[in-house]
A and B are shown apart, each in its own frame.
Chain A
């Protein structure tokens, strides 16, 4: 057996549930607590002129207006149609829609210790882990697409575009 079973003597064993999904045929995963739901994709999106990378549309869901994060464009793939799905990413500053392939997402239980740091410096990547025979990239949906904003570009009067937007861990670009 490759994996050590978790037990009281195992200090680092902490259970972690991952939702695994596909984007353009590529496997990806996210922590289950960062997924707000999955439902069929509707074409009720409206393009929004935007300078924010990969956030360039909104989607109406009931009375809510959700921003859409184009994860497929980031990965340089095309979402497989028809029957694509809408995954709700529970980002810290509000939910965000992500279009994924129509394959039904699956739930996988792993140990936290099985998550390895990704060699990729992409801040959206939490790490990688092995699920079955595949190495899967785990995305941090809570911070997906968050970009540090240079202070000079956003006026202090912008209620949501000001300091609370910035990643506190990001380096000051001015330095």
Chain B
């Protein structure tokens, strides 16, 4: 039998998942599309969102330095079943759809609370992007003490807290299914914070 004669195609299913990729300083973060409810300019967010939700600088949440001033950034409205929260970021890079296989676990060298903050990492246009754990982001998990050695920690956060006895790694199934992603995209399009005027700046066409 000649190998050249074998042409049958092996069908395979590729799992896809969607993320909204945002930038905080030089760090790129991927928010599972399933939790994204809307987008807007940072300066408008306070007056547009009804009912008002708490707003946090995402860079502050992770102890990162920002490249833009708060009023120049963008607001990403995120929500889960019960919780809604607005996060200010430097830039919205785009909504992307990638194969689940391309997401790798965080290298084991990262051994601290970042293993809870991030469920994985992938490459996008030559840059690494960190996948944010949505439940932690939305506050289902307590904020971890001693986040960054380079930043002074809030004394109120220094008391050790026990982790909830829930698995924390790679739950893309919960937030990353095509159905959930499709629903979330629709949500992004109709969300209160959608800004049509900025569409050309955002590489949605690359999706």
Q: Do A and B bind each other?
A: yes
A-side residues, CB < 8 A to B, are 44, 46-53, 55-56, 58, 60, 63, 65-67, 69, 91, 93-94, 96, 145-147, 149, 152-155, 157-161, 164-165
Across the A-B interface, the 7 shortest Cβ-Cβ residue pairs: A51-B112, A49-B62, A160-B108, A157-B167, A161-B115, A67-B109, A52-B112
B63 to chain A, nearest CB (A): 6
A-B pairs with CB below 8 Å: how many?
112
Give chain B interface residues in 84-139, CB to chain A under 8 Å: 104-118, 121, 123, 126-128, 130
Q: Chain A: interface secondary structure?
A: loop
Q: Chain B: interface secondary structure?
A: loop
Kindly name the residue among B115, B116, B150 whose own CB sees the greatest number of chain A CB atoms within 10 A. B115
- Cβ 8 A contact of B146, one of A51, A67, A96, A154: A51
Contact B123 A158 (CB under 8 A): no
- Cβ 8 A contact of A60, one of B25, B62, B117, B127: B127
Contact A157 B169 (CB under 8 A): yes
In the complex, A50 Cα to B117 Cα: how many Å?
9
Contact B128 A65 (CB under 8 A): yes
A172 to chain B, nearest CB (A): 16
A67: chain B residues at CB < 8 Å are: 107, 109-110
B169: chain A residues at CB < 8 Å are: 157-159
Kindly name the residue among A65, A146, A164 whose own CB sees the greatest number of chain B CB atoms within 10 A. A65
- Cβ 8 A contact of A152, one of B63, B107, B118, B162: B162
Contact A52 B111 (CB under 8 A): yes
Given known contacts A58-B107, A160-B115, what 16 new A-B pairs fall within 8 Å (CB)? A44-B127, A47-B64, A48-B130, A50-B110, A52-B109, A55-B110, A55-B111, A56-B148, A65-B107, A65-B121, A67-B110, A152-B162, A152-B163, A155-B168, A160-B106, A165-B108
